[in-house]
Structure 1
Amino acid sequence: MSTKFSPRVATAALLIASSSLAGCGAPDLGPRPELRPPSTLDSAASIQGTAAEWPQERWWTAYGDPQLDGLVDEAIKGSPDVATALARIRQAQGALESSRAALLPSIGGQGSASVEKQSYNNGTPVAALPKGWKDYGMLALSANLNLDIWGKNRALLAAATSAAEAAVADERQAELVLASEVVSSYFDLGRLLERQKVLDETLAAREGSAKLVGQRVTQGLDNQSPLRQSNAEAARARIDVAANREQIEKRRHALAALLGTGPDRTLTLTPPSIATIAATPVPADAGIALAGRRPDIVMSRKLVQAADKGVEYAKKSFLPDISLSGLIGLSSLGISHLFDGGSDYGSAGAAVSLPIFQGGALSGRYRLARGGYDTMVASYNKSVIGALQEVADALSTRTSAGEQERHALEARTEANAAYGLALQRYKGGLSTYIDVLSAETTALDTRLGAVDAHFATLASEVALKRALGGGYADDSAKKATPDE
């Protein structure tokens, strides 16, 4: 009976044994954390929608302001943040291309030409050696292919694919944040300019009151106390005017920075008055469908997928690698004989690489990959919870801002009327300057309050559009579902 084993049987036995060893090699780190998609979190009562459509992609164009449209486009084109996100996309695409190469055969070519003389004193019979200096030539073509039987390299490719898709979503998130900041800053500049009008008018009124009191003092109808107080109020009004002017300049500087330009770009920028804007409709599935409508959530989900494949790659690294290689070429003594018959040579074979002892390196990499996966899951869950909170907060703010604006307008009307009556009574000698000052201060406060309330309503609409994803929709190969 023969005791020889077939090479194929020996190889198969080696693979089975190595697979068993590798399966035992990955440490048990317990159950994986679970994703918490929007559908698993209660939000129906806080986020109630009736519309069928989500915000459009270029949502800011709905305000009908060509100047604003141009500013947003300029910001996206010149922003360092967007440029950084685009650079990360190129990096991710490079990693993807590199990972894809591991699944393809590698082919290389070699060639050489030389003039050599063999030593006659190296132990080889002199009669067997070429005499004198001889020319040599060689041409060869080699190839190598990793069979990736266990799918390790395919897992790496899938991880790189998800990472590239995450980079694309990250760039869209950068655009969304930038656009919303430009629009919010633009509206806030409009608010400050409206406040400036009110403060300028208030200063004129304070100075008029001081002049009136001065006349009454000259006529002996008032003493120095109301005159001093009226002059002090006029000085305070000048302080308010100067402080608001500073805020206008800073807001213009901030807006220029968002555009990626110097501060001179927005020195004369003046937004037009905005009486009202259409309310942002809330989709009926605004809660559960956020997973595919917010670029930050999509990015987090793609990173979870990439980390999952990273864990798979680390686990399969315990398994052996099997590769095929081949070499074919021409070699001759005398370059002129390189293409003569008999100059060809070659080899072909298979190789198995089995990690037997790595000093804990593979186990450490597996733990590192698993820790990265757990981190990405926690980050995804945080993004989902935060997104639902932002939508709910934006809806609450919009409702409250609308109510506050209505009450602020009513208060402004009543306070202006009260101030007019107090001024008339003071001119007629029927009330004191204190009564006029009190009514005037209330009228100022309510006018400024009405301005702030109006622009708070506009800001709430911007915040809601941003919270709903600003018209983004996941268009990667794998669409987001309510359970992802």
Structure 2
Amino acid sequence: MKQTFNISPVRLSLIATSLSAALLLSACADFSGIKEQATEIKVSLSGQTESVRWPDASWSEELGGSQLSQLIQNALKDNPGIQLAATRITNARALQDQFAADRQISLTGNAESTYQRFTKNGMVPPPLAGSSESNNQATVNLSYELDFWGKHQAQSRVGLSTEQAAKAETESAKLLLSNAIARQWVQLQKQAGQLTLTEQQLKLRKEWDSLIQQRLKAGLDNRSELQQNLVSVANLQSEVLNWREAIAQTKLQLALLAGQTPEYANSIATPVTSRTVDFHLPSELPLDLISRKPEIIAAKWRIEAMRGEVELAKNRFYPNINLVGFAGLSSLGLDKLLKSDSTIMGVGPAIHLPLFEGGRLRAQLAGKVADTDSAVLQYNQTVLNALKDAAEQLQTLQSTSLQIVQQEQAQQAAQQVLTLNRQRFEIGTSNRLPVISAELALISQQKNMAELSARQLDARVNLIKALGGSYPATRQ
């Protein structure tokens, strides 16, 4: 037996009337007095900035060779903080999938069977009244949301922005970790250099002590000079131990940053202290390079996500219209369930009308707008902090460059004194002590230079972080 399903003119008129009422009610949405108050700081890429591509993506290779580069790569893979940040991307993608599913037709199946006794004193007519029978129903239910107000577009905005923010935040975490490892590497390189220079000083002081002992035996010197040298030897021995301890602690810190156990520190080789590093710093670095900093990009995407949330909050003022339908079988008694006469079906709109919410919807919208203002202010603060950080690192670089020039002059003067003393010693007009004294003075200048060089290198590494590393600029 063929079943037909027709919608009567009355039914069509009811559906049309419902939709018309919903459209009219949409005009009653009141957003007055609820709007953003905060204004974003504009930081965008200029033509000049696009011509400056600094730093190069291989900056870690230039700084510490393949060992530092590999250490950073392992850390980015194994560090729990990076792994945690990556899960936010997965969550954001799941949110997008959820929103995408909301835009599709929803089909659900429902089946139930209830054995019951029907009352004689109710609305159930005989012969069913007073009898017991099973009430059975099996249906497929359809639901599709009609989007008249841009809800799905707002959901897409929230989902996409949240995912992009999560990606940028992950890159920000990677940049912070890379920066931390590179700075520890710079410290390790400095500590190794200072240990070498201190050991050289200690060796010279011991030679000094041997010469003073000889002069004492010959009656050419007094014991006060010997005692002063013994104090210097003791201080240098303590300094050697301190540098060795600092190296061990820095290696341990590098192991932990790399997401490894403390035993991994033993496999970290001491950097070559003679390695020269030149990042080819441009003569001018526009501060709007920070627009590519992942932390700032993430903050910008968070604003976009919040504005999507505002649009969703506005959507709640409008009627929610769903097209619903069902088709299936229904019968009293299981033996009749599969018969053609047991077919049931229906279709129609389901409309949710927010007629009176006691100000709840306006309060929710105001809260989302306030959250957007908060996101804008956080973005502005992030931009200002980045500008301050970049300016400070540039200032440190300029200051240390001037100090290094002065230090080079002092080091050259110490080298000239050593050369003159060696010449006098070689021609026999002086003994070895003035040569040792000049060598000690030169090493002291070299240690000062090592401190300045490490400070300059640290500032360059920090400038890389301040300007976003090698992270590519994206839409602002």
In structure 2, what is the equivalent of residue 198 of structure 1? Answer: 197
The answer on whether the counterparts of 2:171 and 2:294 sit within 8 Å (CA) in structure 1 is yes
- Deviation digits for residues 238-264 of structure 1, max 9, x if unmatched? 121111111111111111111101222
Question: CA separation in 2, counterparts of 1:283 and 1:297?
Answer: 24
Query: Aligned to 1:275, what secondary structure does the other structure show?
Result: coil
Question: CA separation in 1, counterparts of 2:229 and 2:420?
Answer: 18
Rate the CA distance shift 1:419–1:231 in 2: closer, same or farther, 3 A: farther
Q: CA deviation at 1:138?
A: 2.4
In structure 2, what is the equivalent of residue 3 of structure 1? Answer: none
Query: Aligned to 1:28, what secondary structure does the other structure show?
Result: coil
Question: CA separation in 2, counterparts of 1:120 and 1:186?
Answer: 85
- Deviation digits for residues 259-283 of structure 1, max 9, x if unmatched? 1012221225222345323334549
Q: CA deviation at 1:394?
A: 3.5
Question: CA separation in 1, counterparts of 2:127 and 2:84?
Answer: 67
1:456 and 2:461 are equivalent in the alignment: no
Identity among equivalent positions (%) equals 27
In structure 2, what is the equivalent of residue 378 of structure 1? Answer: 377
In structure 1, what is the equivalent of residue 42 of structure 2? Answer: 37
- Deviation digits for residues 51-101 of structure 1, max 9, x if unmatched? 553444444234572222211111011111111110111122222222233
Higher deviation after alignment, 63-72 or 324-333: 63-72
The answer on whether the counterparts of 2:201 and 2:440 sit within 8 Å (CA) in structure 1 is no
In structure 2, what is the equivalent of residue 245 of structure 1? Answer: 244
Question: CA separation in 2, counterparts of 1:282 and 1:223?
Answer: 58
The answer on whether the counterparts of 1:53 and 1:283 sit within 8 Å (CA) in structure 2 is no
> What TM-score, normalized to structure 2?
0.85
Query: Aligned to 2:77, what secondary structure does the other structure show?
Result: helix
* Mapping of residues 15-164 of structure 1, within 5 Å: 15=22, 18-23=25-30, 26=31, 28-29=33-34, 32-39=37-44, 51-63=51-63, 65-113=65-113, 116-119=115-118, 121-123=120-122, 127-129=126-128, 134-164=133-163
In structure 2, what is the equivalent of residue 343 of structure 1? Answer: 342
In structure 1, what is the equivalent of residue 403 of structure 2? Answer: 404
- Deviation digits for residues 380-427 of structure 1, max 9, x if unmatched? 222223333333444443344444334434322322443676799999
In structure 1, what is the equivalent of residue 304 of structure 2? Answer: 305
Question: CA separation in 2, counterparts of 1:390 and 1:353?
Answer: 52
In structure 1, what is the equivalent of residue 8 of structure 2? Answer: none
In structure 2, what is the equivalent of residue 391 of structure 1? Answer: 390
The answer on whether the counterparts of 1:206 and 1:230 sit within 8 Å (CA) in structure 2 is yes
Question: CA separation in 2, counterparts of 1:363 and 1:203?
Answer: 76
The answer on whether the counterparts of 1:32 and 1:374 sit within 8 Å (CA) in structure 2 is yes
The answer on whether the counterparts of 2:290 and 2:466 sit within 8 Å (CA) in structure 1 is no
Q: CA deviation at 1:324?
A: 1.8
- Deviation digits for residues 183-227 of structure 1, max 9, x if unmatched? 222232111111100011111122222332233333332223222
How many residue pairs are counted as aligned between the two chains?
462
Query: 1:216 is matched by which residue type in structure 2?
Result: R
Question: CA separation in 2, counterparts of 1:407 and 1:155?
Answer: 60
Query: Aligned to 1:128, what secondary structure does the other structure show?
Result: coil
In structure 2, what is the equivalent of residue 272 of structure 1? Answer: 272
In structure 1, what is the equivalent of residue 3 of structure 2? Answer: none
Tell me, which stretches of 5 or more residues in structure 2 are unaligned?
1-12
Higher deviation after alignment, 210-219 or 159-168: 210-219
The answer on whether the counterparts of 1:51 and 1:281 sit within 8 Å (CA) in structure 2 is no
Query: 2:25 is matched by which residue type in structure 1?
Result: S
The answer on whether the counterparts of 1:33 and 1:377 sit within 8 Å (CA) in structure 2 is yes
Query: 1:18 is matched by which residue type in structure 2?
Result: L
The answer on whether the counterparts of 1:120 and 1:126 sit within 8 Å (CA) in structure 2 is no
> What TM-score, normalized to structure 1?
0.83
